[in-house]
Structure 1
Amino acid sequence: MRVRTEAKRDAILEAAAEVFLEAGFEGASMSQIAARAGGSKRTLYGYFPSKEELFVAMAHNVATSFLDPVVDALSQTEELPPVALQRFGEGILGFLCAPDSVRMWQTIIGVAGRSDAGAQFYEIGPSRGHEALAAFLKRQMDLERLPPADPHDAARHLMALLEAETLMPCLFGKLKAPSKKYLRATTERALQAFFRGYGNPGMP
């Protein structure tokens, strides 16, 4: 009986990230990934039944390693909304708009057109960030730092504002590797629009 281990799973995900980055989703094969991970295809399929599922798991693993600190900081902060959300916006956009990340999002979108891989990734990835942002906004509303509203709607609107000048043009190749200065400025503009819509009572 073959025993699955977290160490082996991690090795497979690391190898998959390297191969997918080098060859793209279409060019990568399970044989290549198995060889890079130092095992057999049979072992690989024991952990991940398809290339789509492996790609989703790899993308989630990469995303959480970068985004967990940003999300955790937001959930624990006692800073006022303008300060906390500026830091959150810059942090999340820095990852979302990195060249390797953009290639990964483009691949996920392509795969989503022919399987449920995109939906799977959304549920285990972006939706978690959305929930954390909504929870932060709800807390600020309870503290009367923001007027009452649906926190989930507010979180969706804020993310759309953050991505409008950044992730969207990156996905279509209009914007490449935006600088920290650019992301700082676009985050400021997004928050200005957000606070005009949702208000910020009690702010100096």
Structure 2
Amino acid sequence: MSSEKGMSAMRVKTEAKRDAILDAASHVFLEAGFEGASMTEIATRIGGSKGTLYGYFSSKEELFVAVMHEAARKQFEPVFAAMNQEVDNLPKALQTFGEKSLEFLCSDRSIQARRAVIAESGRTDIGKRFYEMGPKFGMQKIAEFLGNQMDLGRLRKSDPLLAAMQLMALFECETIMPLMFGVEKTLSKARIRLAVRHALNTFFAAHATEALMIASRRNVES
């Protein structure tokens, strides 16, 4: 019994240290960018050594991806949880999902992180790590939701994963792309809301069933 308590306490302590590392690293990466950040500086922030950091993360690339993944997890967990609940109004549900997703993805921090990942992808495996832990996982969750909507007869039967990829591409074409290339510096909530509406108009034109369109008209009229 005492050994189990000891293991539990050690696990909590280990998780607390990992969280402290992620918190310190997030500030260093935000201040210096991926290129300028150093494991030495991160270790100094937590009052430890580089050996401690490498005990949790094998490289700066792995730590950077973990920081980005943790930020995305905190943002998207409640969003995905809401999507898994019973949805009566699919257009409204996807509008809300799109707005909340883009408010995070269009933030200065997210754009900087994406630029850093792209810049390093040709030299390291950071791009693959980032994709596997972030976009790929998110796309699978969206695909599950869209697949359920297909089963309910609201969306036409098709490949749910492909539909999810198309939906996110539509969300990003008016928002992420201009920000990535510096065409836009920031996007207001009103701009994001309008971009999501445009994206959903195109998405539903390709994927909505007649039953959904009739239900949508009724919701508008009521």
Unaligned runs of 5+ in 2: 1-9, 218-222
Aligned identity (percent) is 52
CA distance in structure 2 between the aligned counterparts of 1:77 and 1:35, rounded to whole angstroms:
47
Secondary structure (helix, strand or coil) at the match of 1:76 reads coil
* 1:157 aligns to 2:166 (yes or no): yes
Give the alignment partner of residue 196 of structure 1, picking from 195, 205, 222.
Answer: 205
1:5 is displaced (CA, Å) by 0.2
Secondary structure (helix, strand or coil) at the match of 1:176 reads coil
CA distance in structure 2 between the aligned counterparts of 1:90 and 1:142, rounded to whole angstroms:
25
Moved over 4 A (4+): none
RMSD: 1.3
TM-score (norm: length of structure 2): 0.87
> Which amino acid in structure 2 is aligned with residue 152 of structure 1?
L
* 1:142 aligns to 2:151 (yes or no): yes
Q: Which residue of 2 aligns with 1:88?
A: 97
* 1:8 aligns to 2:14 (yes or no): no
Q: Which residue of 2 aligns with 1:28?
A: 37
1:79 is displaced (CA, Å) by 2.9
CA distance in structure 1 between the aligned counterparts of 2:99 and 2:118, rounded to whole angstroms:
23
1:62 is displaced (CA, Å) by 1.1
Say how many residue pairs are matched.
Answer: 202
Offset from partner CA, 1:109-134 (integer Å, 9 cap, x none): 11212111111111111112111111
* 1:19 aligns to 2:28 (yes or no): yes
Which protein is richer in helix relative to its size?
2
Q: Which residue of 2 aligns with 1:119?
A: 128
Unaligned runs of 5+ in 1: none
Contact kept, 8 Å, 1:144 with 1:201, in 2: the verdict is: no
